[in-house]
Amino acid sequence: MARESDVSIACALVVAAWLVGLAPVLLGGRTFAGEPHLAGSMPWYDRVATSIAGGHFPEWDDASGLGAAMALEPGRPLAYPPAWLAAAPPRPWCIDALLSAHLLLFGIGAALWSRRLGADPMGAAIAGGAGALSGAATGALVGGGGLCAAAWLPWVGWAADRLAARSRSRRRAVGGALLLAALFGAHWLAAGGAVGPALAAPAVAAAALVARAPARARAWLALAAALAAGLLLSAPAWLPAAAAGRLGAGGFTAGPVFRPADIPALALALWAALAGGAPVRRLAVAGAALALLGLAASADGFAPAAAAIAAALAGAGAARAAAVFERPGRWARWRAAAGALLATAIVGPLAVRAWRTPLEARDRIERPPALLAAAAKGDAPVRPRIAWPDQPYRDDADAPPDTGARFGFAYVPGRDRDRDPLLSRIWRLSLAGAAERLLDLYDVEYAVFPAGAAAPAAMPIAGRSPGGDRVLVENRQRRPRAFVAPRWTWHADQEQLARQLFPAASDQRGSLALAQVRLLGAGPPSPAPRAGPEPALPCAIASARPEDVELTCRSTTGGYAVLLDRAAPGWTAELDGAPAPILTADLVARAVAIGPGLHRLRFVYRTPGLRLGALLAGAAWLNALALALLLYRMRGQPRASVVPIEPG
């Protein structure tokens, strides 16, 4: 009972340190500043929360670029159930609270691992506070993602250490492998198909086994089994990305491995490495190797992994430092006070640094950005698209790009640009001088210009930033989001079509026939053009769900019904209730052939591999639960003994 009481005391102290460090965010009306969080994490979590609160699972993001698959954005925990808690009101406070809670999860895991390394309750509290407020952990938060995955790394180390200590018993080795597999599954679900963070968990587990049982074959076999089981448990996170070839390095900023405020904790970790036994020294060497790997390769997951090991070692070092006062004499009674002073000296600077983390008043992101206020359209079924060139975040009255996604805006190029080669190419070509083509072709309604730039005459100013350095212009000569094209051409080569749409030479940038589409492939020729310009007949959009879009289109001559949203594997179409093939129009859009008359067209998106991954993971979690219950019922039962048979 005393050990459980000590663990409770350590966890309570970690919670107290976490509350002090995160008080401005949890209680003070502040949110984490910086473009990676405000323009990356916050809009993404809000998109997930809005869909979950609306009763459907988010699979397609119509606020990023020309549309993007949510499950294919590396480093975003779409299949991670705790991320769905962001749907709880009030938002966006709940998003900040969810991310902050993972800092606490990181800290408690570090405290428990430190206890296994010999730390007393005060040392475990130091380990937890140093882990939760470390530069690597908080950097993973404000860097735009990765914290949900990083939070499980200390728990992986704790479970691997526990497995190594109990692997002499076959039954306990199976139980330890099962626990480790569940933690691997949680970590990889939170990693969202990002390779860097996914590799960090096996590295931490291997470091714990090397430290505790480097030559115990049963422990390494159990680790291999846990890795295989963890892959099944996390199949919804990596299977869609693997099927699409989009397994990525991470897609977010990892943050520094260590900051100056981490130096006292590192000093205690070094003390533990120098004064501890062989297991502690081996763990310290493994942690240093992970830190160097994170610095050399800029691997997203290895900085938090090194921080988790350093925090656990710091707790063990604090216990050794406090043991100095255990000697008989007048100093013995000051041991508790010395531990408290040491904890304050270690965790205090980290809490102060957390208060000094760049923060933003949350009420500034609870309303539309000032520059976009004139363009806000409430609950319109179609998000107005805004071309907002990349620029560094500045602390002015406007929010950075993508934050308006919380208020119904869609951004071009969007978050997915760097991970989609085609969209990246289109954006580069448009920046080379054919920006008007981008705006006109893909229904980009607004664009942000520097105040001194000359906007085309057909683009009146719709709003100005409070500082006066940027203007919002409206693009009135553009296609509708959904329309019927009565004329078309066929193109077999994507490169040729890209050069035609976005020519490099200025003398080739004449006006485009917006009612005509350029299709990839081969098919029936277009009718002869009529005299005079032909308008693109708009289609009515009857559904506001990005994954399920219904159009009502009318045409007198027939043609192709076009939706200016990204064509991607997983989209299917129904024309008047019957399946219809989808063609790619103007490089990225979706088009379906229709005849004369009134038609109902429906586009439905199902992420390839997501449902198969969910089925595999569901079966794996049920089997893991059944095995855990079986092991629990077998706990304490004696092994069956073999009784020899007496002869004759």
Q: Residue 360 corresponds to which tokens in the numbers above?
A: 């933003």
Domain boundary, last residue among 333, 360, 387: 360
Closest CA to 204 of 298, 122, 283: 283
* Peptide linkage before 92 cis (omega within 30 of 0): yes
Residues 251 and 333: beta-carbon distance below 8 Å: no
**Do 214 and 307 belong to one domain?**
yes
**Do 227 and 132 belong to one domain?**
yes
- More confident position, 144 or 140: 140
pLDDT at residue 581 in the model: 96
| 255 contact partners, CB below 8 Å, separation of at least 6 | 135, 136, 138, 139, 140, 142, 143, 303
Q: How far is CA 473 from CA 412, 441, 442, 450, in A?
A: 14, 17, 16, 10
Q: How far is CA 62 from CA 207, 410, 605, in A?
A: 42, 7, 12
184-218 per-residue burial string, b: 16 or more CB within 10 A, e: under 16: bbbbbbbbbbbbbbbbbbbbbbebbbbbbbeebeb
pLDDT at residue 323 in the model: 67
Round to whole Å and give the CA distance between 404 and 386: 10
Round to whole Å and give the CA distance between 201 and 192: 14
Would residue 614 count as lying in a domain? no
**Do 389 and 355 belong to one domain?**
no
- More confident position, 246 or 182: 182
Is the pLDDT reported for residue 558 higher than 70? yes
Round to whole Å and give the CA distance between 417 and 39: 14
Is the pLDDT reported for residue 3 higher than 90? no
Q: Residue 40 corresponds to which tokens in the numbers above?
A: 């990356």
Would residue 633 count as lying in a domain? no
Q: DSSP readout, 390-413? A: -----SSSSPPTTGGGGGT-EEES
* Amino acid in position 128: G
pLDDT at residue 641 in the model: 45
Out of 31-45, 288-302, 360-374, pick the least confident: 288-302
Would residue 436 count as lying in a domain? yes
Residues 216 and 279: beta-carbon distance below 8 Å: no
Q: How do residues 143-192 score in pLDDT, each as one tens digit? A: 666 889 999 999 999 999 999 988 888 888 999 999 999 999 999 999 88
**Do 421 and 354 belong to one domain?**
no
433 φψ region: left (φ > 0), alpha (ψ -120 to 50), beta (else): left
E strand or H helix at 17, and its extent?
Answer: helix 2-26
Is the pLDDT reported for residue 524 higher than 50? yes
Would residue 42 count as lying in a domain? no
Would residue 55 count as lying in a domain? no
pLDDT at residue 643 in the model: 43
**Do 466 and 552 belong to one domain?**
no
Is the pLDDT reported for residue 353 higher than 90? no
Which residue range is the domain that position 443 belongs to? 370-474
- Between the CA atoms of 28, 32, 33 and 38, what dihedral angle is there, to the nearest 10 degrees? -120
pLDDT at residue 554 in the model: 92
pLDDT at residue 644 in the model: 47
pLDDT band at 392 (very low <50, low <70, confident <90, very high): very low
Q: DSSP readout, 584-621? A: EETTTEEEEEE-SEEEEEEEEE--TTHHHHHHHHHHHH
pLDDT at residue 85 in the model: 93
Is the pLDDT reported for residue 322 higher than 80? no
| Residue 619 CB neighbour total at 10 angstroms | 13
Percent of the chain whose predicted confidence (pLDDT) is above 90: 39
Percent of the chain whose predicted confidence (pLDDT) is above 70: 85
pLDDT at residue 606 in the model: 95
Q: Residue 97 corresponds to which tokens in the numbers above?
A: 């609270």
Strands 516-520 and 537-538: unpaired
pLDDT at residue 417 in the model: 53
Q: How do residues 470-486 score in pLDDT, each as one tens digit? A: 888 898 888 899 999 99
Would residue 646 count as lying in a domain? no
**Phi, psi of 390, deg, nearest 5:** -60, 140
pLDDT at residue 396 in the model: 46
**Do 348 and 415 belong to one domain?**
no
Domain boundary, last residue among 331, 360, 389: 360
User: In sequence order, which ranges of 435-563 are alpha helices (DSSP H)?
Assistant: 435-441, 494-501
- More confident position, 315 or 335: 315
Domain boundary, last residue among 306, 327, 360: 360
Q: Residue 92 corresponds to which tokens in the numbers above?
A: 């966006």
The count of domains in the chain is 3
What rounded mean pLDDT belongs to the chain?
Answer: 84
**Do 318 and 200 belong to one domain?**
yes
First to last CA, the chain: 53
**Do 571 and 492 belong to one domain?**
yes
Round to whole Å and give the CA distance between 423 and 521: 20
Round to whole Å and give the CA distance between 258 and 266: 9
E strand or H helix at 488, and its extent?
Answer: strand 487-491
Give the HSE-up count for residue 218: Cα atoms under 13 Å, Cβ half-sphere.
14
550 DSSP β-pair partners: 602
Q: How far is CA 453 from CA 444, 450, 456, 457, in A?
A: 19, 5, 10, 12
**Do 350 and 381 belong to one domain?**
no
**Do 196 and 337 belong to one domain?**
yes
483-513 per-residue burial string, b: 16 or more CB within 10 A, e: under 16: bbbbbbeebeeeeebbebbbbeeeeeeeebe
Would residue 629 count as lying in a domain? no
Q: How do residues 194-229 score in pLDDT, each as one tens digit? A: 887 888 999 999 999 999 888 788 999 999 999 999
pLDDT at residue 510 in the model: 66
Question: What number is the average pLDDT over the span 524-534?
Answer: 74
User: In sequence order, which ranges of 66-92 are alpha helices (DSSP H)?
Assistant: none
**Do 288 and 420 belong to one domain?**
no
Q: How do residues 438-449 score in pLDDT, each as one tens digit? A: 888 899 999 888
**Phi, psi of 144, deg, nearest 5:** 105, 5
Would residue 51 count as lying in a domain? no
**Do 96 and 213 belong to one domain?**
yes
Q: DSSP readout, 135-177? A: HHHHHHHHTTS-HHHHTTHHHHHHHHHHHHHHTTSHHHHHHHH
| Residue 543 CB neighbour total at 10 angstroms | 13
